[in-house]
Structure 1
Amino acid sequence: MGAILSLASPKCRVSDYNEVPQVETCKKQKLSSYCNEESTGLIPSLPDELSVQILARIPRIYYFNLRLVSKKWKETIMSSDLFKLRKELGTTEEWLYMLTRLGEEKLLWHALDPVSRRWQRLPPMPNAVYEESSKGFSGLWMLNVAGPRSIIAEFIRGWLGQKGDWGHMPFPGCAIGALDGCLYVLGGFCRASTMRCVWRFDPILNAWSEMPSMSVGRAYCKTGILNNKLYVVGGVSRGRGGLAPLQSAEVFDPCIGSWSHVPNMPFSRAETFPNAFLADMLKPIATGMTSYMGRLFVPQSLYSWPFFVDVGGEIYNPETNSWDEMPSGMGDGWPARQAGTKLSVVVDGELYAFDPSSSTDSGKIKVYDQKEDAWKVAIGKVPICDFADSESPYLLAGFHGKLHLITKDANHDIAVLRADPHHILDFSPSSSNPLTDSKLHELSNSVAESESVIWKVVASRDFGLAELFSCQVLDL
C-alpha cells in the first residue's frame, strides 16, 4: 500500500525509475504498469465523463496550454463534443476576432478574450499562388507545405518573380464572415484578378482549411448570416474594361458544403437616372449588409470613384427568395463611413450604425426606429481620433449584450471600447412617491440631455503600424 501511495504522489517520475537497483526490476515493472493504467484517464481517479464536465467549465483562454498536458487532453480539448457540451451547459464565451492590415497586402488575425483581456495570435493562412489560365484559375500551389522559410518555397517564389513575403493570406479586398463557430474569408484581389477562393478558420482545431469556391470572383463583397447559412452579395469583379460592380448573390450551406445562387439584386432605385450621362458614369454597388429581423438588409449606392450617392437599398427575404425595396427612411438615412461603406451591427435586436459626420474627432451612434422609419441618435458622443489616412479607422461589434467600438486611441494603440449606461434609473413605483407620466417624461428628458453613456476600455494593445480591417465575434 505504501508503494502505491508513493506512486500516486507528485514524486512519481520516469527519471526516478532509472535509479532503481537491478534486483527490484520486476517490482518496478509491475508498479509502472499500474501507474500507466492510472494515467489512462483524463484526470486520475475520476471517470472521463466527470473530467470532461470539468474541462467544459474552464475558460477557453486556458485551452491552449491544457492541450500540452497529454495526447488525450489534446484530443479532448480539440473535440467538437467538448464544445457541444459547453453550449449545453451555457459556458460558451464570446471572443472578438480582429483582422488587421500591415502595409498594402499583409493581413493578420488576432483574437481577444474580453474577460481576461488577453490577445491570441491566429496562425497565418497558407500562402498560395493561383495559376491563371485562359479559363480562369486552374490550379492551386501550396507554398508553405515545407514551412514558410523552406528553400523550396523561396525558390518557387523567386522563380515566379515574387518577393520573399509574397502571398500573405487573406487577399486584399477580401470579405469575412462568421458561421457555425468558424471564421470565413472570401475573395479579394490577387495581382490583377478577383478571387473565388474561400478559406475557413476552425478555432477548435486552430487551423485553416480551404472551402468550396464561390461561383464568381469577388472583391469587397458583403456577407451576412441567415438560418445558419452564409450569404454573399455584390462586390466588384475585374473585366476587360476594369472593375465592374456585381449585382449577383449566392449562399453557402455548411451542411452540404456547397454554394447555390440567389436572385440578383434588382437595384430598382438605382435604375432611375436623371439623364443618360449619369447612367453611364454612376454604377450601382452594395455598400453594406446586415442580418436583421430574419432578413438581409443591403444598403446601396451609386459610385464613380471616389464619389458615392445613396440610393436606398433592398431587403432579401429567404422565405420568398426575393428582394424588396428598403423603406426610404432606412435606406436614405443609413449612416456611411469612409468610401461609402455603411457599417452596422445588431445588439439585442436593435440595429445600430456609426455616423462620423459630426466632427473629425467624434461621432454619433444611431439606432433605427422601425415604427417611424427613421435613424435616431442613441449615443451622442463617441471617442474616436482623426485618422484621415486610415481606410477603416473604426469598427463596430456586439458581444456580451453590449455595443463595442474598435478604434485607435491617442497613442495609436488599437482599443476596444464598451458602451455602458452612466445613469441607472429606478422606475419602480412606490406608494409614497409614485412616478406619474409627466414626471417620467421630465426625468427621461433630463437624462437624454446629459451624458447618458460612458465608454470603458475593454482592452488595448500596441499593434505597431497595423490598421483595422474588419472583425467578427464567435461564441464557443
Structure 2
Amino acid sequence: MGSFLSLAGPKSRTSEHDEGSQHETCKRQRMSSSFNEENPRLIPSLPDEISILILARLPRICYFDLRLVSRNWKATITSPELFNLRKELGKTEEWLYILTKVEEDRLLWHALDPLSRRWQRLPSMPNVVYEEESRKVSSGLWMWNMVGPSIKIADVIRGWLGRKDTLDQMPFCGCAIGAVDGCLYVLGGFSSASTMRCVWRFDPILNAWSEVTPMSTGRAYCKTGILNDKLYVVGGVSRGRGGLTPLQSAEVFDPCTDTWSQIPSMPFSRAQVLPTAFLADMLKPIATGMTSYMGRLCVPQSLYSWPFFVDVGGEIYDPETNSWVEMPIGMGDGWPARQAGTKLSVVVDGELYAFDPSSSLDSGNIKVYDQKEDAWKVVIGKVPICDFTDSESPYLLAGFHGKLHIITKDANHDIAVLQADLRDNLGFPPSTSPSCSAASSHEHSDLLAETETVVWKVIATRDFGTAELVSCQVLDI
C-alpha cells in the first residue's frame, strides 16, 4: 500500500516497480475522476485512489449494497479495475455457485459466500428465441424453459436406440456448466429436440448474463474442464436422423479472444476393439465425466445399451502434445459412477476425489486416486447424505478454501453444504460416522460428524423448497 500512497506526492521515485504502480494508480485516478463530474470524489476529503484501495479491501458480499449508494459507487463496484486491484492485494474470495431446477420448469442460480454464509440469487438466465434457419421454423427454439422434474438421463439414452418419441418430448435442456476467468458459462443443450451451439456467460462483476461466440457443434450433455485458463468442451450428444448420436469431437474456448478452436477428437480406443459388429452397433461410447488433473484432462468413458452401461476406462488429453492417450487402467476402470453411469469428481489441493454411492442408496463413500499405485482408495468410509430421491443430482462435489465439500439435502430437505476436514488424505477409511440426523441443526458451525480421519461441518443450509440440484461451480474473484 505504501507504493500506492507514495504516488500522491510530486517527487515519487521512478524505479521499475514504482513506474508500474504509478501506471496502475493513474488508471484508477482517471477512472474515478470520470464517474461524476458534480462530485468527483467517492469519499469526501479522500483522494479517489485511496477510496478505491479501501473499497478493494471490503468483503465482496458488501458490494451488493454499496452499488446502491450512488452512480459513482456503482461504476466503481462494477469496474474490472477494482477486482484487478483485489487480486494485487490478495483479497480475492471463493464463492460457491449452485444451479437448481424448480417445478416451474426453470433453472435458477444461487451464490453462497462461505465466509458470511449469506446466499445471493443470480439474475435469471435470459429466455432467447433461436430460429432454425435450415428448416425456417417461425416458432423458434426456446433454450431456457426446457427443464422438467421427471426426465432422467436414462430417458436420453433410449434415444440412442432410435426412439425419437422420447427425445421429441424431452423437456430437460441438458446444458453443460463451466467456469473460467472469473465467469460462469452455460453451454449448449436441447431445444425442441435439437442440440444447440449457443453459449451464455455470467459476469459476477456486472451481475449480468451475455451471449458469447457459440460452439462449432451443437451439443447436449457434454463435459467441460479448465486448463491454462481456457474452457474445454468434450463429447456429449447431437441430434441425428436416427436419434441421438454420441460425439467424439472436442473444442476449446479462449475467453480473452472470445474464440473457439478445434482439438483432436477422442479416439475411444477401447470401444474400437469390440469383438463383433453387432456389439459395435449396439454399444454406444460416450464421455461420462471430465476433470482437470495434473495439467491434463482426464475423461472417463462408458459404453451404453439401454438399460445397461459398461465402463471402458477413459482417455487423457495433454495440451502440450495436443493429443490423447489411454487412461491408466486402474484410474479408468475404478472411477466411481453415479446414476446412469455419469461420474463426478473434483480436485482439491492436488488430490483427485470421487463420490462412490452405496448399493443401498442411503449413503456412500469418498475415494481418492493414488497415482503411484494407479488405484482408487476409500478415504471417507461414510458420507452423511440424507437425500437419495429420484433427483438427477442428489449430491454435488466442490472444492474451495482448500477443503472437499458435498452439496446435498439434509434431514429437513434443505440444501446443505458440508465441509470435509480430512486429517489424513490417504489414511485408512474411518469405521462408522454418526447418522445424518445430526445434520438437522441449522447452526452452520455445528459439528456434523467426527471420525478418526474426517470432521464434517455444515457450512451453510437453505430452504429451496422442492428445487433439485443440477450442478455447481466455484469462482475465485
Calculate the TM-score normalised by the size of structure 2.
Answer: 0.79
In structure 1, what is the Cα distance between the partners aligned to 2:119 and 2:475? 14
Residue pair 1:128, 1:140 contacting (<8 A) in 2 also: no
SS state at 1:311 partner:
strand
Say which is worse superposed, 113-122 or 299-308, in terms of deviation: 299-308
SS state at 2:355 partner:
strand
- 1:351 counterpart = 2:348: no
Post-superposition offset of 1:410:
1.4
Post-superposition offset of 1:42:
0.8
In structure 1, what is the Cα distance between the partners aligned to 2:463 and 2:387? 18
Residue pair 1:337, 1:343 contacting (<8 A) in 2 also: yes
The code of the aligned residue for 2:304 comes to Y
In structure 1, what is the Cα distance between the partners aligned to 2:139 and 2:180? 27
Describe how 1:48-447 pairs up with structure 2 within 5 A. Answer: 48-103=48-103, 105-134=105-134, 172-357=173-358, 359-421=360-422
The code of the aligned residue for 1:222 comes to K
Match of 1:23 in 2: none
The code of the aligned residue for 1:381 comes to K
The code of the aligned residue for 2:237 comes to V
Match of 1:29 in 2: none
The code of the aligned residue for 2:91 comes to T
Residue pair 1:236, 1:245 contacting (<8 A) in 2 also: yes
Residue pair 1:187, 1:218 contacting (<8 A) in 2 also: yes
Post-superposition offset of 1:139:
11
Change beyond 3 A, Cα 1:473–1:396:
same
Residue pair 1:171, 1:187 contacting (<8 A) in 2 also: no
Post-superposition offset of 1:270:
1.1
Q: Which of the pair has more CA radius of gyration?
A: 1
Match of 1:40 in 2: 40
SS state at 2:367 partner:
strand
Change beyond 3 A, Cα 1:216–1:135:
farther
Change beyond 3 A, Cα 1:202–1:446:
closer
Post-superposition offset of 1:75:
0.5
SS state at 1:132 partner:
coil
In structure 1, what is the Cα distance between the partners aligned to 2:388 and 2:373? 34
SS state at 1:173 partner:
coil
The code of the aligned residue for 1:389 comes to D
Residue pair 1:251, 1:262 contacting (<8 A) in 2 also: yes
Count of aligned positions: 398
In structure 1, what is the Cα distance between the partners aligned to 2:396 and 2:143? 33
SS state at 1:474 partner:
strand
SS state at 1:256 partner:
coil
| 1:65-105 CA distance string (max 9 Å, x none) | 10011111110010001000111111110000000011384
Post-superposition offset of 1:179:
0.7
Say which is worse superposed, 266-275 or 202-211, in terms of deviation: 266-275
In structure 2, what is the Cα distance between the partners aligned to 1:84 and 1:273? 53
In structure 2, what is the Cα distance between the partners aligned to 1:184 and 1:137? 27
Match of 1:452 in 2: 453
Change beyond 3 A, Cα 1:39–1:298:
same
The code of the aligned residue for 1:244 comes to T
Residue pair 1:38, 1:44 contacting (<8 A) in 2 also: no
C-alpha RMSD over aligned residues: 2.6
Residue pair 1:122, 1:206 contacting (<8 A) in 2 also: yes
In structure 2, what is the Cα distance between the partners aligned to 1:359 and 1:391? 17
| 1:253-304 CA distance string (max 9 Å, x none) | 1122111111110000111113232211110000000011111000000012
Residue pair 2:357, 2:365 contacting (<8 A) in 1 also: yes
Change beyond 3 A, Cα 1:138–1:245:
farther
Residue pair 1:100, 1:108 contacting (<8 A) in 2 also: yes
SS state at 1:279 partner:
helix
- Segments of structure 2 that go 5 or more residues without pairing to the other structure are 1-35, 145-170, 433-450
Post-superposition offset of 1:421:
4.2
In structure 2, what is the Cα distance between the partners aligned to 1:259 and 1:445? 44
SS state at 2:132 partner:
strand
Describe how 1:11-30 pairs up with structure 2 within 5 A. Answer: none
SS state at 2:280 partner:
helix
In structure 2, what is the Cα distance between the partners aligned to 1:94 and 1:70? 27
The code of the aligned residue for 1:124 comes to S
The code of the aligned residue for 1:460 comes to T
In structure 1, what is the Cα distance between the partners aligned to 2:137 and 2:177? 21
Change beyond 3 A, Cα 1:273–1:374:
same
SS state at 2:396 partner:
strand
Residue pair 2:143, 2:191 contacting (<8 A) in 1 also: no
The code of the aligned residue for 2:92 comes to T
Post-superposition offset of 1:106:
1.3
Residue pair 2:379, 2:428 contacting (<8 A) in 1 also: no
Change beyond 3 A, Cα 1:142–1:388:
closer
Change beyond 3 A, Cα 1:134–1:90:
same
Change beyond 3 A, Cα 1:135–1:142:
closer
Residue pair 2:387, 2:409 contacting (<8 A) in 1 also: no
The code of the aligned residue for 2:294 comes to M
In structure 2, what is the Cα distance between the partners aligned to 1:192 and 1:281? 22
Residue pair 1:38, 1:45 contacting (<8 A) in 2 also: no
In structure 2, what is the Cα distance between the partners aligned to 1:447 and 1:329? 23
Residue pair 2:387, 2:408 contacting (<8 A) in 1 also: no
Say which is worse superposed, 366-375 or 356-365, in terms of deviation: 356-365
The code of the aligned residue for 2:200 comes to W
- Segments of structure 1 that go 5 or more residues without pairing to the other structure are 1-35, 145-169, 425-443
In structure 2, what is the Cα distance between the partners aligned to 1:263 and 1:104? 40
In structure 2, what is the Cα distance between the partners aligned to 1:356 and 1:447? 16
In structure 2, what is the Cα distance between the partners aligned to 1:395 and 1:445? 24
